[in-house]
Structure 1
């Protein structure tokens, strides 16, 4: 039984599936840094498209901050003190520079370029920040923990009275995004102070109590499962982490929310309040996927490589039985591509049975078969990856969506 489980775990490992499905690969020459193949790029862009539309709909402004910035910036932010062993440094001959391990200072520089009024708040900035961290070899794990990855970061600058509303909106975003990938089983961890060591934490005691209570209230008001983690809070604010369960029963930490009393003070961030006085805003750091790489690795294992139709890099593979049907296969390909589907023709000089075997190992949704009879009648036959076979039907019969929930393509025309 244990041997069977080990074999199953190995078979769904995202590193193995990534190689098998031609999505991404890893090389000794670039330790901890993934190489994306064309199909992997499609999946990555699919995640980005979902993320970007969701943020546009919710009034976020997307920015791109530099990857390489002066060490002085990281000293000011405190990252050099706390994360120096995980950072990559360089020099241009005049200044010592660092590759960003996170995007927070860049968002703060952008916020500070103009003085803000309370009427401008909240300011919601989002960024697909390409970051680098010097993760040691023993800690690296394919896409799940890489040296080079893209964080789907966001930084929200708001007043104290806006915090609860902003946190509620973040919860809504996280649940909406995860539900769109079929994740329904999750819980939250609230990281709180160690009350016996209050001197180690920044910020007023009253503010900590208020924000910790807000996080608990939101869990209760939204009827969400949660656990309190006393003593787990960082010195600069309480936080919230979402842990999801995939189809294989594995738990993954994904979305995170961090309230920050530290960086706004360090960078002298402010806004003009209703009294005409300068006030320090509360900064909320927030990620939904966690990182594109990590979430993609989770999805590959969650779906076991069998992606939903809309997410499949190739939706239809066309296999002519022999060379005489190649031109007809291209006609079918052209029709499908004009309708917006992603198609490949397998016109290699191999046996038809090998084409079928390759189709099943690719885990793609549909194999369209064109032989002599199909070509003469202007029809197609098709197999689904589940093994269902239909012979000699019109292409329109495969594609039509007449409200039949049993139709193979029903419900999948949701490409955002």
Structure 2
């Protein structure tokens, strides 16, 4: 192996250390209070989910065997698609191995060369990367700024065959969400294709946990819903749902992420099937999680920059600099509390933050030590 290659890697890693941007995973070798997980209902430890997943794996095997276009799909895969369609109020759907793959497949393949994609400035990296590598022109509108979006729509609608607007429901690094009802009104006016990524909205929003579209009563107006099994549903995999069959047929034939990958395992379909049943009926836990989020935000706002007008389980504590963010994270770790230290390029420079992710098994009592740490840190 050329020494120049190794030296380049070492130099770039050294630069990451200098800027306090180096990352490495934490070995979970003792009991922590984990406030970094996206498993908002801790279903990865749920007995019903574990037992059903085991039953499905024993019936259909540990893996799917190959790409679905080679060896076909199993009854458990169809059961999962059917359950999702009923829950999310769509007619057609397909499964992927991860949310990242689903987003890449959709964004790289569906829009054409004569189309335009408009995306929220803080869209997830999986979509941002696909935009940069695709052939379709795109523009970003300011975060949650639908006035800016309308300006772009007004200026560009007549110049392109189709305009796609892509947004997340709950944004993964900010815990906020768009005014989906107003977005739907813009859709009626400008006739664009609306794509909603419900990765973090699923489970925590809506009467049955179907997400922001359900909560706002706009499910029928959202053209394409993307979601994942890796957050509230405590597993792996993802889905694309729509009311238009040609979208699914086109992706099935064009998306390399679907064509050239071994299909989702029966075990993971079992996890998703059981988790959906639990989440749909978790009404009290869903409301308790919202109340806990509002309570914690109100307690923290005295000591750190935090939004108080949302009730989602994702709570960013805006610190600013990389070194201060890492110092605060270290204080949490010293008290056996795991939190995410999010730095550029994941978030804009100067907005490094501690990202808290709540779950339904937490209580105010369990969170008091966290508040004390932030309070003491803010005095320094």
TM-score in terms of structure 1 length = 0.22
TM-score in terms of structure 2 length = 0.23
Larger radius of gyration: 1
Q: Higher strand proportion, which one?
A: 1
Greater relative contact order (Cα 8 A, min sep 6): structure 1 or 2?
2
